[in-house]
Chains A and B, each alone.
Chain A
Amino acid sequence: MTAPALSETQQHAQARHVRQCRRESMVALTLWSIGLAWTLVAVLGWGYVPVEARSAQPSLVWGMPAWVFWGLFVHWLLQIVAVWWFALCVLKDDEPLD
């Protein structure tokens, strides 16, 4: 099975579809990059701390270590909001070919 040939109009629609998909992918990959950077900063800055830098009374936020709260839970909540934004504002309805 090969893809059926497209009419002139369909080819334009297909090109717009590809451009839009690439745009959406770039936004998704940007969110991924931010997620990676956030995680690395939090984990290296507050997670993998040298033993001598650990205080006797660990810093807790809402009952969990601060690095977990800021590095994972806050990050995760922001990513949830970002995914909702992506779904509602970035992801456009696909233009039909015919």
Chain B
Amino acid sequence: MIGMLAEMNTDAAAWYVLGQQDVAILIPFAAYMLGVLVITVLSNRRQQTGDFGTEYYVAGRNFGAWVLAMSWVATLASGGSFLGYPSLVYSYGWSMAFWVSGSTVTAVIGLGVVGKRINRLARQTGALTLVDLLRDRFASKQLGVIYTVVILITTSVYLVAQFVAGARILENILETSYTMGLLLFAVSVVAYTTYGGFRAVAWTDTMQGVVMIVGVVLLVPVTLWAVASVSDDQVLELEAEAERISQQEPTPDRDTVVAELRQEIAVRRGGTALEQATRAQAEREDIEARDNDLPTQPQAFLYPPGPRRVTEPGDDQAGDWFLPFGWGLSLFLIRSLGAMMMPTTVPRMLAFRDTAALRRALLILAPYFLLMYGSSLITMNCAHSLGVDLPAGKSDHAMPALVTRLVELQAAPALLAGLLIAAPFAAVMSTVDSALLVISASIVRDLFEKSCSWRLSQRATQRLSYSVTASAGGLVCAAALLIEPAFLQPLVIHYVGGSASALFWPGLATLFWRRATTPGVTAGLVGGSVVYVLAVFWNPLAGLITLHPFVFGFSSSALLVWGVSRWTTGQTENQLEPYFGRD
């Protein structure tokens, strides 16, 4: 997701250039694709045994710690984490630290609060989706349908954005057209998701999660080494310059100039590579402010609200500071709370083996986000010191441009560059496959089988699931062909904010609150969605504080679930006992 919150600029034209420099760079990418193929075939063989639904949608409820941890995080992190967030750090410097601060608590909130409870109830009731749990607890098909529709709308929107991201990456790796990139991406990801089901998705996600983190973490020492190396070269040049000037005929300025040069040399020798890069950021000019005759702030790239927002013609936020406090606060809330009931991550909670797997998954996940975003913060704040200089509006090339620069400086080996090509593609694929299965489960399981009471044989369910997964992929592919990529980033953000606004409180109340009622949960679901949409067009606190629409939708949903449940008749003890027991 969360990458999903970064500006998802996905152009990466430099990838093709990289691949042409050294074919070895493409080896990790090719190995990754081969790995996906092998996993899919193995997963499909496992599907031949046992109940199709349990196997296809929750992989036999037998996930161990690594599969749970990696598939959860790989689903959460999309292409934005590996292209978009680095692009923003490149553009706005250290102020972007506030942007990801909510990720400090994502793991414990995302898995620690609801993971065990969802898993227990799903095993007890045989639920294959979260909608199963809601519908069964409140014995309401209508509630199930509404919840499913919200999931379908938000997830479809998200899928379109991710398809475009995947297409753009292939377009640039292969230097082909956008349409061809999209078709190649769609065929590959839809094929392995349809054929392999949830087990293939989870296993490939696990591999993708490892590929992603290894790539970005290795980038840190390589980048810092390159900054130190470039700085050493600059020191040698400064020393030569100081020596040359000191040999000249005495002039009034000579000693002053030499002293300044020696001071500069001392500073460069005294600091670490990151210090040097950060000091360079402190002196960086706010180009947007300069070009638009706007006031600037000193050290704008070191402190929030950052420099002026880089804008395009027609941008209604032109001239604003990049990260006003209210927006940063909203992002903290979305990044931490948004992961809890997200349609694409919840299926993992129905599928892990036992509490021991959840415990070990938390141990594995705890440092993951720090490694992922911390490495982007460090490396991208060094990019300017390495001479990565992109024109305004092209910061989306920052990651490939940095890798290209590191290859030029002979700091990054070809295989590492290859890993960095594979990482964003893996991030997009791992998000798309999960979202496709969510759509398939919502339609086949929640709408056809449960809400419409279709009685299907195992074979018919299998065929229908394959058809729906493939058709959903086809429809999203068609939508990605028609929609302007420039408008995709708001869609990605709306997926997280919108789904959390609508689904968070109804889901939490279903799991933990005895007093929750069908009207209360329905009101929270519908009210959170409606208020969110309204707040997108009209901010009630405009002029006071800049808040994301999520804050309004989320708060309204909480009030509605609580207020309407209190106001309506609660469930009977007999209805509650299977879910809450009795002392």
Contact residues of A with B, CB < 8 Å?
Answer: 1-6, 10-18, 21-22, 24-25, 27-29, 31-32, 35-36, 39-40, 43-44, 47-49, 51, 54, 58, 60, 62-65, 67-68, 71-73, 75-77, 79-80, 82-84, 86-88, 91-94, 97
Contacts and interface: CB of A to CB of B under 8 A. Distances in A.
Contact of A76 (B114, B336, B374, B582): B374
Contacts of A75: 101, 104
B106 to A, nearest CB: 10
B177 interface: no
A21 B274 contact: no
Contacts of A68: 94, 97, 377
A91 B555 CA distance: 29
Contacts, number: 204
A6 B582 CA distance: 10
19 contacts: A2-B578, A3-B125, A11-B577, A18-B581, A32-B336, A32-B337, A39-B104, A40-B329, A48-B303, A51-B297, A58-B282, A64-B278, A67-B303, A71-B97, A75-B104, A76-B369, A79-B105, A86-B108, A87-B363
A74 to B, nearest CB: 10
A35 B116 contact: no
A87 B136 contact: no
B366 A83 contact: yes
Interface in B425-439: none
Contacts of B337: 32
A62 to B, nearest CB: 7
Given A14-B582, A47-B304, 15 more contacts: A1-B132, A3-B124, A4-B124, A11-B582, A14-B577, A29-B109, A36-B332, A43-B328, A64-B381, A72-B97, A76-B370, A79-B108, A83-B108, A83-B362, A93-B354
B550 to A, nearest CB: 15
A48 B512 contact: no
A17 B581 contact: yes
Contacts of A36: 105, 332, 336
Given A3-B579, A12-B582, A28-B108, A58 B299 contact: yes
B355 A4 contact: no
Interface string B171-211: 00000000000000000000000000000000000000000
A68 B381 CA distance: 12
Given A93-B355, A94-B355, A63 B272 contact: yes
Given A18-B581, A63-B271, A79-B105, A28 B325 contact: no
A32 B305 contact: no
A67 B577 CA distance: 50
Contacts of A88: 359, 363
A22 B102 CA distance: 22
Contacts of A84: 362-363, 366
Contacts of A82: 108
Contacts of A64: 94, 274, 278, 377-378, 381
